[in-house]
A and B are shown apart, each in its own frame.
Chain A
Amino acid sequence: MSQLRYSKDHEYVRLEGEIGIVGISDHAQSQLGDVVFVELPKIGDKIAQGGEAAVVESVKAASEVYAPVSGEIVAVNDALENEPSLINEDSTGNGWLFRVKLANPAELDGLMDEAAYQEFLKTLP
C-alpha cells in the first residue's frame, strides 16, 4: 500500500498508478464522531484542489470534504450509502470516499506525509 498524503483540511489521498484514492483522516473521523450520511460526487465530475467534493455528516456536524488534488472522479464508494460507519471503522481503508484521476500529480508535493501530518495535528488547539 502506497503512502498517504494529507491536506490541512484533514483529507488524505493515496496514489495507485495515476489514480488517487481520497478519504478523510483517522483524526477527522474521530473528531466528527459517528458518521450517519455521506454525500458523494458523481462519476465524471471534475474537481479542483481545495474545492468542495463531498459532505460527511455525523451526529455532531455536517462537514464539507475538500478535494486534496484536482482531477476527474472515476469511482465513488457506494458502500457508504448503506454503511456510512465504514468511515469510523476504517477511514483510510474501506471508508474511502472517491477515486480521482489526477490532473496535476505535482499537487501531491504540496501535501503532508504521515509524519508531517502527525506534527501538524500537534499544532492544532
Chain B
Amino acid sequence: MRYLPLDDQDRALMLARIGASNIDELFADIPAEKRLPGLIDIPRRMSEMAVERRLSAMAARNVSAGSVPFFLGAGAYRHHVPASVDHLIQRSEFLTSYTPYQPEIAQGTLQVLFEFQTQVAALTGMEVANASMYDGSTACAEAVLMAHRVTRRKKAVLSGGLHPHYAEVVRTLAEMADDETLRLAPDVLAREDIAGAIDNETSCVVVQSPDFFGNLRDLTPIAAAARAKGALLIAVFTEAISLGAVRSPGAMDADIVVGEGQSIGNALNFGGPYVGLFATRAKNVRQMPGRLAGETIDAEGRRSFTLTLSTREQHIRREKATSNICTNSGLCALAFTIHMSLLGETGLKRLARVNHANAVALADRLAGVKGVSILNECFFNEFTLRTSRPAHDVVESLARKGVIGGVPVSRLAPRAGLDDLIVVASTETNSEDDRAAYATALAEILS
C-alpha cells in the first residue's frame, strides 16, 4: 500500500485491521457536540476570489487580541514578542529541518535545545529539564504518570486551583494508565486543605501557582506534607512570566515542575501550538519523559551536543518507555529560547514587575466599580472578580462594548456554582487607556 493515495479499499483494509467499522468510530472520544456535523457552509464550486471574500467575512466576526482592550488569560497570555524572535525562528536552518536530532548534522538545533533546557531549569529552580512537551496540560499529565513510576503508587490529588483543562487532560491520560485522580473542588480563595487529602497511597499532589484564579500559593508546606507521606509535589504554572517575580517552585521544594511556556516567545496562536515545560530533580531523571539534549565532547575533544538518556524513550524501550512522546515542540521552544535570551535575567524580572504593576493598577480601578469585588489577597498578573450580575452576561456585554474583559469561570467549570466570577489578566500590553475603557464599560453594565 502506498502512503499517500488512499482509496476506499485502502481505508476499509486499515479499518478492518484495527477493528473499527468506520472512520467516525475513531473519533468516539470527542463529544458529539464538539464535532462538525458536516461540511462547512460553502458551495462545492466557487471562484477563488468568492471563497476568499466569504472566508474574510467569517474571519471578520472574530475580535483579534491586538485590536481592542484585551484582558484574557486563564492559561494563555498576550505578551509583546520582539520582531527579532519571529525573524530568527524563520531562518531555514531552524524552520524547515525536520526532526533534526542527529548530532552529526544538527549541532545548532541540539545546542538550542540544551540552552532551552538550561533556561527552564534555571527558571523553575530545578536540576534538569527536558527539551519540551506539547503544552502545559500534557506536561502536567506526564508529570502525574512519572510520579506513579517514581513512587509506585497510583493516586494523584489535584488541587482545586489547578486549571480545569489541565485537570481534564490529567484525568484522561491517568485513566488510560489505571491511575486514580482525586480532584478537589474549585478553590477560589486558596483555602483548601490539600495536606489533608494526602495519604499513604498518594503518588503526588498537583498544585498550580499562580493558580487558575490568580492566587499565589506558598508551596513549601504542601511539599513537606507530601514528603511526610512519601508523595511527590508537582508544581504547575500557566504563566511563565510569573517566574520572574515569585520564588521558584524548586526553591519551594517541588519534585517536578511543569508549565506552559507560551508567554515567552509565542503568540496566542488561537490556542496552539504551545510549548510545555518539564523539569525535575536529577535523581528522577530516568523516569522523566521526553527528549533530552546533553553536552559532551566529540572525537576531537570539541564541545558538542547530543540526545542523551534515550533508553527512557519509545524508539529504544518500546512499550516500556517513560512516555509515548518521541518529539518536542521544537519551533516554539526555539522562540522561547530566543525571547528569553533577549530578555536576560534582568529583563525578565523587569517584565514581570511591569505585569504585576499593570494588574494591580487594573484591580484598583475595577475595585472602585459598584457591584465588583476583587477576591484575591495575593496575585501576579491575574485575579478573580465577583460581579453583581452573572459573569457570562457581563463578559458578553463588555465584548459588545469593545472590551474583552476576561474568562467567566463558569465557562471552564460549568457545574461548580461559580457563575458570578470572571478571571481577568493584565500584561505589559495593557495601557492606561485600556484600563479606563474596561472600568467605564463595566460601570455602565453593572449600573
Contacts and interface: CB of A to CB of B under 8 A. Distances in A.
Contact of A37 (B286, B316, B317, B320): B286
Contacts of A61: 311, 316
A34 interface: no
A62 B152 contact: no
Interface in A29-81: 37, 39, 42, 57, 61-62, 64
Contacts of B316: 61-62
A64 B286 CA distance: 15
B152 A39 contact: no
Nearest to B317: A62
B311 A57 contact: yes
Nearest to B152: A42
A39 B320 CA distance: 13
A42 B152 CA distance: 10
Interface in B268-324: 286, 311, 316-317, 320
- Interface residues of B toward A: which range? under 10
Nearest to A55: B320
Contacts of B320: 62, 64
A39 B287 CA distance: 11
B3 to A, nearest CB: 30
Contacts, number: 12
A73 to B, nearest CB: 13
Contacts of A37: 286, 311
Consensus secondary structure, chain A interface: strand
Contacts of B317: 62
Interface residues of A, number: 7
B286 A39 contact: yes
B296 to A, nearest CB: 13
Interface string B148-174: 000010000000000000000000000
Contacts of A42: 152
Nearest to A63: B311
B201 to A, nearest CB: 16
A57 B313 CA distance: 13
A57 B316 CA distance: 11
Nearest to A59: B311
Tell which of B286, B311, B320 has the most Cβ of chain A within 10 Å. B311
Nearest to A37: B286
A83 to B, nearest CB: 16
A82 to B, nearest CB: 12
A62 B320 CA distance: 10
B294 to A, nearest CB: 13
Contacts of A64: 320
Tell which of A37, A42, A61, A62 has the most Cβ of chain B within 10 Å. A62
A101 to B, nearest CB: 20
A76 to B, nearest CB: 14
A39 B379 CA distance: 42
Contacts of A62: 311, 316-317, 320
A37 B317 CA distance: 15
Contacts of B311: 37, 57, 61-62
A62 B316 CA distance: 8
A94 B441 CA distance: 76
B274 to A, nearest CB: 31
A39 B391 CA distance: 53
Contacts of A39: 286
Tell which of A57, A61, A64 has the most Cβ of chain B within 10 Å. A57
A37 B287 CA distance: 12
A61 B312 CA distance: 11
Interface string A85-117: 000000000000000000000000000000000
A42 B230 CA distance: 14
A66 to B, nearest CB: 13
Nearest to B321: A62
A42 B320 CA distance: 19
Contacts of B286: 37, 39
A39 B150 CA distance: 11
| List of 5 A-B pairs having minimum Cβ-Cβ separation, nearest first | A62-B311, A57-B311, A62-B317, A37-B286, A62-B316
Given A57-B311, A62-B316, 10 more contacts: A37-B286, A37-B311, A39-B286, A42-B152, A61-B311, A61-B316, A62-B311, A62-B317, A62-B320, A64-B320
12 contacts: A37-B286, A37-B311, A39-B286, A42-B152, A57-B311, A61-B311, A61-B316, A62-B311, A62-B316, A62-B317, A62-B320, A64-B320
